[in-house]
Amino acid sequence: MIYLDNAGTTKMFEECVKVHRKFSCEQFYNPSALSTQSMEVSKCISQAESYFLKRLGAKVGNVLFTGCATESNNLAIKGSLRNGDWEYVFSEGEHPSVYNVAKMMELDGLKVHFVPLNKEGKVDLKELEKVLSEKTRLISIMHVSNETGAINDLIAISKLKDRLCPRAILHVDGVQGFMKIPFSLQTTSIDLYSFSAHKIHGPKGVAGLYVKNKGALKELYQGGGQQYGLRSGTENVSGIMQFMKAVELIDERRNFDHVQTLKQKFNSVIMGLKDIKILDFGGSPYIESLIFSGVKGETMLHALNERGVIVGLGSACSSKKAGNRVLDKIGISKDDIISSVRISFNAYQSVEDIEEAGEIILQVYKDILQRVS
């Protein structure tokens, strides 16, 4: 089986299994309790927080550990809402866990701006500049598009925020960027940054939210006051420590270079058939889309699955819905959207497997075209 849906999830590192056993069966104590053993576990969480801050390149701030990136995004956005004549800014390309929250805010009567994307799939900076003002409370722009791989210019966005609305909070959904795209928070004005374990070979069920200033965020639900009173509930110690182990094993610069090679080799095979269009916006090497003229993407997905190649149709969080909002917003035709498949790589795949996957995709597409012609 050759897995090309790594933007949806990734295979967990074997080393994480050992960490899970340690913190589930040996050091299983509740970190909020007062026993010596519990305080040792609490110390482990603190050490993990410090480690994540270092890997994020943050000089100040904290990390909250959540149950998933959807929770991190919801906590960042809803925890930033305030009464008053405020305005909230989002891009048209956001993940459903951000975009759908913004739509609900709009329905609730809040002033919400949706900034369009340019033809490269990035947020249009000129349009963003037009809507920012002293009334802006929150800007939420993703780091890397989960649909196209387009990388937003977080430094340029930070400069706009600092110049036009310095009191605003800048939130970034960094799920497809963290530990994949070489990056440091030090170069930006980011206040909140969401990231997830299962996208980088860690376990499902744990994620993080970087918080520069705890005072700018409010809790969404009340409880025992864990994690600075912003995310109550007993921490998922095993998940947190597995998450840290996964990050320890990753060299994002080396991985980035290897995945670039994988993508180039894959595309060199795919370009052997002119009826396949490659949607590559020159962003993350981890993600691109293929358009199979005359064949539905879902048809290709199932046919490839039978041949041992797993691909995706875009965000798994919205796979039950027809169409693709992000591709539509950057001007891709409805016919091409229906015929599109998302390809996403991981850094631990071989060139040989990727080239084999490309050959299988070509053959499957040719076979389908012959049957329908």
Take residue 185 and report the two structure tokens written for it.
């928070």
Asked whether 222 and 86 are in contact (CB, 8 A), the reply is: no
pLDDT for 370 equals 86
pLDDT exceeds cutoff 90 at 279: no
- Strands (E) across the chain are located at 2-3, 62-66, 87-91, 111-115, 136-140, 169-173, 192-196, 207-211, 276-279, 287-292, 309-310, 340-344
pLDDT exceeds cutoff 90 at 372: no
Banded model confidence at residue 280, pLDDT cuts 50, 70, 90: confident
pLDDT for 26 equals 96
- CATH number of the structural domain 2-9+251-372: 3.90.1150.10
Residue-wise pLDDT tens digits, 45-82: 999 999 999 999 999 999 999 999 999 999 999 999 99
Residue-wise pLDDT tens digits, 306-346: 999 999 996 544 444 556 889 988 888 999 999 999 999 99
Residue-wise pLDDT tens digits, 98-133: 999 999 999 999 999 999 999 999 999 999 999 999
Report domain extents, the chain: 2-9+251-372, 14-248
Residue-wise pLDDT tens digits, 1-26: 999 999 999 999 999 999 999 999 99
Asked whether 323 and 337 are in contact (CB, 8 A), the reply is: yes
- Measured CA to CA, the distance from residue 56 to residue 250 in angstroms comes to 13
| C-alpha count within 13 angstroms, C-beta hemisphere, residue 21 | 4
- Measured CA to CA, the distance from residue 7 to residue 9 in angstroms comes to 6
Write down the residue that tokens 């490309």 correspond to. Answer: 358
- Measured CA to CA, the distance from residue 86 to residue 5 in angstroms comes to 39
DSSP 147: T
For the domain with range 14-248, which CATH number is right: 3.40.640.10, 1.10.1200.10, 3.40.630.30, 1.10.3720.10? 3.40.640.10
pLDDT exceeds cutoff 90 at 292: yes
Banded model confidence at residue 171, pLDDT cuts 50, 70, 90: very high
Predicted structure pTM score: 0.94
Beta bridge partners of 207: 66, 196
